[in-house]
Structure formats: C-alpha cells, structure tokens
Amino acid sequence: MDPGASAGNQQRVSTPTDTSGSFRRRGPRFTDRIVAEPAGDGQWPAEPGRYRLVVSLACPWAHRSLIVRRLMGLEDAISLAIVSPIQDERSWNFSLDEDGRDPVLGHRYLEEAYLARDPEEGTENGVSVPAIVEESTGLLVTNDYPWITIDLGAEWAKYQRAGAPVLYPEGLREEIDAVNEGVFHDVNNGVYKAGFATKQARYEEAYTALFARLDELDERLAARRYLVGDHITEADIRLFTTLVRFDAVYHGHFKCNRQKLAEFEHLWPYARDLYQTPGFGDTVDFDHIKRHYYQVHESINPTRIVPLGPEPSAWLEPHHREELGGSPFGPEGTPPEPLDGPLRPLPPLDM
C-alpha cells in the first residue's frame, strides 16, 4: 500500500523507508469529516447522492470503509468507485472502467480529485484510499481513513438500513479505542513495518511486536466471540482486514512467517467467523489483493509473479465460534442483503 501515506498508495518507484531502515506512514492529508449536523469549517453534511467512495479492493485500509458501507446499508446513499489494484507512477487509477475513466467523476486518476481540492499541495502526502469525493465537483472531501468508518457508522444513521449494527457504541468506545491503538501500531501497520524494513534490526523489531500482539489477541479471543462486547464493532473490522490478507500476502511477501494465521488456535476460527458474516467475506477479493502486493511491490518481488495459493475454500470451514455466545449484529440487528455477484472481477493474468 502506501509507502508514506495513510492507506494504500504504494507506487512502484517509491521508497517507503527512512534512513534508519524503518517504514514510515504519513497521516491523511485531508481530515474533513462528513457529519449529520455540520458545525463549522472542515465538516460536510451527510447527504445522500452527494459523495462517491473510492476504494481499492486490495487495500486493507480501504476495505474497512467498504465493509462498513455494506453493513450499514448505505449503498444507495454513497456511490462506489473501485480502482485498479495495479498502480503506476501516478498511483491509483480507474483503468478498469470503460475508457479508463470513472463514469461518475470523469477522472482517470484519483490524484485528480486531490489536485481539485488543492492544486498546489494536494498530493503532498501521496494519493491514498479510501477517499470520499464530491460527485458534482470531483474534488476530494476526505481521506481520513479512521474517521471515515466511524462516521459512516454513526453520522449517517438517518440513511442506514433497518437492523444495521452499532459499530462504535458509546459505552464501549474507550475499550474499542484501546484495542484499536495496539492493533494499528503492531498489526495493521506492523506488517508494513516488517515488510518494508531495509535494516535487519528494524525488521526484527516489527516482527517481534507483530507476533506478540497476535498472541495477545489470540488469548483475548479464547473465551469471547468478538474483540469488544458481544457483537461486531469497529475493532473487529480493523483487525479483520489485516487477518484476511495475512496468509495470502503478509506471511511470505512481508516475511511475517513465524506462523500462518491458519495456525493460531483462536484467531483463525475468529477470522473465519467474520469472513462468513455478510459484509465481510463478500467484500474480499483475493485476486485484487495478491495482484496488488505481488505486482506493485517490485522492490520486494521483482519477478512480479503472483502466487496461486492459499486455497480460499478454507475460509468456509466451520468455526464453531457461535458457541461462545453473542451475535454479529447485536440483539436487534440483521444481516445486510446478499450481493448480486463479485464487486469487480479482473481479467486473466498475462502469461
């Protein structure tokens, strides 16, 4: 993903490390929020039909927003654009669309939305996904990935489907934030710190912290179905998008190879439980994921060969996590309607 920006704009020509050999992630450049009742500068109104969510199916940070949009039933309120998993020197592009342009925004590259917002410094921190773009003007509203999911879950309540879950309940926010803090530094970002390290010591530090945190999470999930409370929250969504990529990408490609996710006693059934929950597995595309990491990160994989495994059917094996109690959407929640088909299939790999 992004060598230096928040969420996913690894360009094949960039170097994501500093002089110490450490991976450095830059924060989001545009931190405006879309809220139910705007109260000043930097706040936009939650208004159906006004915004377009731009994601990569490969990017774990963007994947979060895709899951939340689906869980909350906001498909009719916020349109969706899916970029190609293969970036070039201008980063994320719409080459999968007809004529290589997004049919709503008219852009060939997501950077056009960034430059529409700020012509001089719009791409200073890179071009990252997820991004929310105003449809009528084509300019970027926000790329603040942590707040995008929180606000989709809370600030769009008026337009959410009946039975939508409460993903960031007030009484659990302190605990959710504490779990998310550790997961972000050691797991979500930790795999990147290991994968992009250019010094042995920096790699070993990230590797050690990653597996220490995974061990802690594995123990935490021994007697509870979800990370916080008795139904899915922001914490589960943020961990899932890294876990679902772990064996396919991070274990080998990023050298996070002490063990596979499938070898954890509790994390593996937990991840399968989420994968089999509507809104999670049906937004996963292993083809996009593997093509992005293995074909874009040429400094790590110069041959650009995409592995065939692991076998995705393992994600559908019984998990028995329901025996721990709780329910995915809460006592009054219901699952979203099934998707019609895959979100954006890719053409066959070049031989």
- Would you call 250 a catalytic residue per the annotation? no
Omega prior to 130 cis, within 30 of 0 = yes
Residue 35's SS3 state is strand
Q: What are the b/e assignments for 158-172, b being 16+ CB within 10 Å?
A: ebbbeebbbbbbeeb
User: Of the candidates 234, 232, 231, which has an alpha carbon nearest to the alpha carbon of residue 179?
Assistant: 234
- Cα–Cα distance, 173 to 108 (Å, whole number): 39
Catalytic status, residue 256:
no
Catalytic residue among 51, 109, 145, 192: 192
Angle 22-24-26 from CA coordinates, rounded to 5°: 175
Burial class (CB in 10 A: 0-12, 13-18, 19+), 153: buried
Query: Cα–Cα distance between 173 and 170 in angstroms, integer?
Result: 5
Backbone dihedral angles phi then psi of residue 35, each to the nearest 5 degrees: -130, 165
Helix or strand run (H / E) with residue 132? strand 131-134
Q: Position 234: which residue type?
A: E
Question: Within 13 Å of residue 319, how many CA atoms lie on the same side as its CB?
Answer: 23
- Compute the distance between CA of residue 97 and CA of residue 263 in angstroms, rounded to an integer: 39
Catalytic residue among 51, 59, 207, 275: 59
Token pair of 130, please? 């997820």
User: Which conformational region is residue 10 in: left (phi greater than 0), alpha (psi within -120 to 50 degrees), or beta?
Assistant: beta
CB crowding 66-94: b at 16 or more within 10 Å, else e: bbbbbbbbbeebbbbbbbbbbbeeebbbb
Q: How far apart are CA 23 and CA 1, in angstroms?
A: 12
Is the Cα dihedral 236, 242, 244, 246 positive or negative? negative
Going by the DSSP 8-state scheme, the letter that residue 259 receives in this structure is: S
Q: Which residues are catalytic?
A: 59, 192
